[in-house]
Structures are given as C-alpha cells and as structure tokens.
A and B are shown apart, each in its own frame.
Chain A
Amino acid sequence: MKNISLNDIPHQTDSDNYQTLIETLPVDSQTTILLLNGDVLKKENYRITHINSGDKIDLISFVGGG
C-alpha cells in the first residue's frame, strides 16, 4: 500500500498508476482535472504515470460560477 494525499486528506492505495487510481474514486474521470504534486497530469498520461508514496494529488473540477 502507498500513502498519498488526495486534496490534503491522507489516502492509501494499492493502485499502480493514476488510471487505476481514478477508476477507484467516485469521480467523473472525463471532467476531473488531476494535479500531481502541483502540475496538471494529462489524461493520456494517467496509465503510464506510476504512483509513489508521498505523492500529493489535487482533484479539481469545474463548478457553476459567475
């Protein structure tokens, strides 16, 4: 198991890469933006990007706003 943080909340995962991680989360992967250690991780790179313990993930989405 790896210890990562999701939006500052500690999270444990046995996923190997970000594609499998996001599939375990109750989010719409198409419209969710994932920041890995502060930078946008493009969707096409989810599968080839390995998860390391200590990774800081931010999950971001668009919301209604003026």
Chain B
Amino acid sequence: MKDQLIIGDRKFSNRLFLGSGKYHDSAIIPQIISDCGSEVITVAVRRMDFKNPVNNILNHIPKNISLLINTSGAVNANEAIKIAKIARDAGYGNFIKIEVINDTKYLLPDNEETIKVIKELSKDGFITLPYMMPDLISARKMVDAGAHAIMPLGSPIGSNRGLLTKDFIEILINQIKIPIIVDAGIGRPSQAAEAMELGASAVLVNTAIAISHNPSKMAQAFALSVQSGRLAYTAGLPVVSHDANASSPLTGFIHG
C-alpha cells in the first residue's frame, strides 16, 4: 500500500515540507524542490514596498507544488484570519499554516490565539495547519476547532537546535489522531530523521536548507533523512534495553 500523507482533501507522498524564506537567491527554489521532491512549500504575505519592488516569490515556485500560505507576521487571531482570507480571496487557495506570534525574542507561537483562528477559518472551509507550542491540551482544542494537522515546534524558529521538545512531541504523536508535522528548529538531517522515527507525519525545514553553503546538497540530505526516518518508523524500531543481548549464537563456541 502506498504510504501517503493525507491532510484535508490533499494527499502527499513526500514528507519533507519546505519553507521559502532566507534563500540568498530565490531563483534556486525550483532546483531545491527538484532535489528533494517536496510537494508543499510555505510562503508569507506582506505589504510591498512598491517603490522598490522585489521579484515576487511566486515567480520562483513551480505550479505543481502545493502552496501553504503562512500567516506569519500576525500578532493576534484577527490578523491571521485577515491574511488567510486575503490569500484565499485573491485566488491562492485555502491551505493555511496558522502562525500567530507576539513574542519577539523567541518567536514562540500563541496557542490560545491560534485556536481562535482555527475556529473561524474552519467555518469558512479552510484547511488549517496550526504552528504551535507542543502542549497536548492545546492540541486537543485545535483538533476540536477543526485543524487538519498540528505543527509543533522542535525548537525556536531558525535556531537549528533540533528537537528540544521531543518528549512533548511524542505525547502529541501518541495522543492526537491527525498528522503531526514537526516545524521549526530542525537544523540537521539527523534531527529530521529523529522526528520521523518518533512517528511524525512530516517535517518542515527552511533555515537549515536555505542558509546552507550548498542548499541543493542539503535538500537532498534532508530528503534522504526524512525517507529513512519514515521507513524506520513504519518498520518498527527495536526495544531499547539496558543490558547486552548477543547477536551471535551463545552455543557452539570453539575453545582453544
């Protein structure tokens, strides 16, 4: 059976989601997508400096990849709702990563405001993927509000510190029945593999690929690690034991 990730009405066979920020030159993005096979990429929405316009990121994103609109920049529920509706009304779909942040030092998400956004957008038919601080009670409220996937942070955005919240993400994976996608803080492929081995449904990686000296190679490395972690999870990881368990038979020894 094909190992597909289903979010709302969408199906994906690749479990590495990409962010589109921080690339030295956005023109490299099509190559990155081709290198890692990602089927989802996030973009943000901003008022433009129309006197010094930059090339719109959409000109660098292939048409066949799913755009996940990020509400980043929103500091409260109303702003996030507004961003989502602008993107939808302008014809860019209903696939939304809800990100509400009002903490400027650690960029930690506001779970409470995020739940309000999910409630409102769900009424309007959006597919919502809330970025959140991994907390089981909040995650349950997000599911009840209509979220289609939960995106807990591994560590602060752009920090490359990996799965500092591992134990709490594991609780979500065990208790929440919709996809858990680890977002933020994944700085190296081994950390992506670790998240996938835990049973995450996907990971979202931006900074680690975008700021690499060789983003193309790094995208390939992440693609392999996500596949590897997923395969290991579906195969079933062995039980950890404190004592040794011999791999070779303990009989028939040849003694001198």
Residue pair A62, B50 in contact (C-beta under 8 Å): no
Interface positions of A (Cβ within 8 A of B): 6-7, 25-28, 31-33, 35, 39-40, 42, 58-66
Whether B176 is near chain A, meaning CB under 8 Å from some CB there, is: no
User: Smallest CB–CB gap between B230 and chain A, Å?
Assistant: 21
CA distance A31 to B206 in the complex (A): 23
Whether B45 is near chain A, meaning CB under 8 Å from some CB there, is: yes
Residue pair A64, B26 in contact (C-beta under 8 Å): yes
- B: interface residue count bin: 35 or more
Residue pair B86, A28 in contact (C-beta under 8 Å): no
Residue pair A65, B43 in contact (C-beta under 8 Å): yes
User: Smallest CB–CB gap between B96 and chain A, Å?
Assistant: 13
* 25 examples of A-B residue contacts, CB within 8 angstroms: A26-B51, A27-B53, A28-B53, A31-B56, A31-B59, A32-B56, A33-B45, A33-B87, A39-B89, A40-B86, A40-B89, A42-B89, A42-B90, A60-B47, A61-B57, A62-B43, A62-B45, A62-B57, A63-B46, A64-B20, A64-B23, A64-B26, A64-B43, A65-B72, A66-B19
Q: Which 7 A-B pairs have the closest CB atoms?
A: A65-B44, A66-B19, A66-B206, A40-B89, A31-B56, A64-B21, A64-B20
A35 contacts which of B56, B59, B86 (Cβ < 8 Å)? B86
Residue pair B57, A64 in contact (C-beta under 8 Å): yes
Residues of chain A with a CB closer than 8 A to B22's CB: 64, 66
Residues of chain B with a CB closer than 8 A to A60's CB: 45-48, 86, 90
Residues of chain B with a CB closer than 8 A to A64's CB: 19-23, 26, 43-44, 57
Residues of chain B with a CB closer than 8 A to A31's CB: 56, 58-59
Extra inter-chain contacts (9) besides given A60-B46, A63-B54, A65-B20, CB under 8 Å: A7-B47, A7-B50, A28-B53, A31-B56, A60-B90, A61-B53, A62-B44, A64-B26, A65-B70
Residues of chain A with a CB closer than 8 A to B54's CB: 63
CA distance A64 to B54 in the complex (A): 11
Which residues of B16-62 have CB atoms within 8 Å of chain A's CB atoms? 19-23, 26, 42-51, 53-59
CA distance A6 to B51 in the complex (A): 11
Residue pair A59, B21 in contact (C-beta under 8 Å): no
User: Smallest CB–CB gap between B173 and chain A, Å?
Assistant: 22
CA distance A34 to B91 in the complex (A): 12
Residues of chain A with a CB closer than 8 A to B143's CB: none
B58 contacts which of A7, A39, A62, A65 (Cβ < 8 Å)? A62
A61 contacts which of B23, B48, B70 (Cβ < 8 Å)? B48
Whether B7 is near chain A, meaning CB under 8 Å from some CB there, is: no
Residues of chain B with a CB closer than 8 A to A40's CB: 86, 89-90
Residue pair A63, B44 in contact (C-beta under 8 Å): yes
Interface centre among A7, A26, A60 (most CB of B within 10 A): A60
User: Smallest CB–CB gap between A33 and chain B, Å?
Assistant: 4
Residue pair B57, A66 in contact (C-beta under 8 Å): no
